[in-house]
Structure 1
């Protein structure tokens, strides 16, 4: 019988492990606990690999501009992403509008490690992330100060505090209602001038939850 020939370089190239076909997503959040905890819950519940979705907090500061800059720095460190999201609130920040413009200016302006133009988007909420959670329980249709938002949310989620874990599990039963309400707010109001209730969170949440099906 003929001896087995050594595998050709072409065979080795074909057998080289390939990364997942999913888009690799980087999410950089203003908060160090509240938003990362919530988004990590979605990732874990959907059994999405941390290779596919990486959730970090901004290491450069909590101003929206710094969140965008932190996301930019992390992307450029490896270039290993197809999508980058900077997650921040309006609050009383001075660089909110600037950060929105910065995100637009960076969208599809860089190429990743596979030569693909990377999407870069801001995920903003006026006034605070808790508005997104409150929309699971109340149909908010106008500006609501973050202190009032937090107070109302506590009437629906006993013991809620910023940074707590378990917020996703405690709200997911009403998530489609929240998505519908957030969609209506976005259709009615614009991110600037930030004088109205607004959130993009439903879009990021829908994207992450959609990965489960894939």
Structure 2
């Protein structure tokens, strides 16, 4: 009986070790994308995820962070980074690629820069926009270097969407990825975003307006669906 128990224990231990090793091997292809917004950013990345899964069935998970309240609550973008850390620590799987997605909006320069540095110090990558994700959307259609705010981004997008026959731009459009890539150019958006960063030079992210590093995440994911 004793030898049987030992044999069963060894088999279970071997299986656990095998699962752990497989988990580690899959890590480079497993993404965790945590967004500040509840719908706009997740909808965009879910659209990209669906394109990838339809071809490679890769495991890319988009986490929707509860919307961060910036109306005098004292919370800031660092809360999002802490939330990401909680997900990573409690997850039974290994994520080889952890991305945090957030906008500057009305956060102070210090809050914005601090959140970026905090995320990087933990090994996370940051897809930030100064001042909003809508800048990245606009770059699918045109190069924009004027330091306008989110409301003006939305006005420009609404006009573009009306011209295309989609009506007013809304933040919760589920097929936003398809609209932008079919009616605009994701490759040109990447090139335009790179051009903006280069124009700003070596200054803190809070001083780069307009600018976005969302293209870095998009470019990385596109490698799975481009030949």
Q: How would you bin the TM-score normalised by the shorter chain?
A: 0.7 to 0.9
Show the 5 A alignment for 1:44-123.
44-47=50-53, 52-59=59-66, 61=68, 63-78=76-91, 80-94=94-108, 95-107=111-123, 120-123=124-127
**Residue 135, structure 1, aligned to residue 143, structure 2:** no
Provide the aligned length of Structure 1 versus Structure 2: 191
Contact 1:68 1:103 in 2 (8 A): yes
- Which is further off, 148-157 or 135-144? 135-144
Contact 1:41 1:166 in 2 (8 A): yes
For 1:81 and 1:60, locate their aligned partners in 2 and report how far apart those are by CA, in whole Å: 23
**Residue 164, structure 1, aligned to residue 173, structure 2:** yes
**Residue 181, structure 1, aligned to residue 192, structure 2:** yes
Per-residue CA deviation, residues 98-138 of structure 1 (Å, 9 max, x unaligned), is: 1012012212xxxxxxxxxxxx1111001100000001112
What TM-score do you get using the length of structure 1 for normalisation? 0.79
For 2:63 and 2:152, locate their aligned partners in 1 and report how far apart those are by CA, in whole Å: 28
SS of corresponding position for 1:85: strand
Give the gaps of 5 or more residues in structure 1: 1-8, 108-119
Identify if the C-alpha distance between structure 1 residues 61 and 193 changes in structure 2 by more than 3 Å, giving closer, same or farther: closer
Normalized per residue, the structure richer in helix is: 2
For 1:46 and 1:80, locate their aligned partners in 2 and report how far apart those are by CA, in whole Å: 19
The root-mean-square deviation of aligned C-alpha atoms, in Å, is 2.5
CA drift of 1:60 comes to 7.8
Query: Residue 23 of structure 1 corresponds to which residue in structure 2?
Result: 29
CA drift of 1:191 comes to 4.8
Query: Residue 192 of structure 1 corresponds to which residue in structure 2?
Result: 205
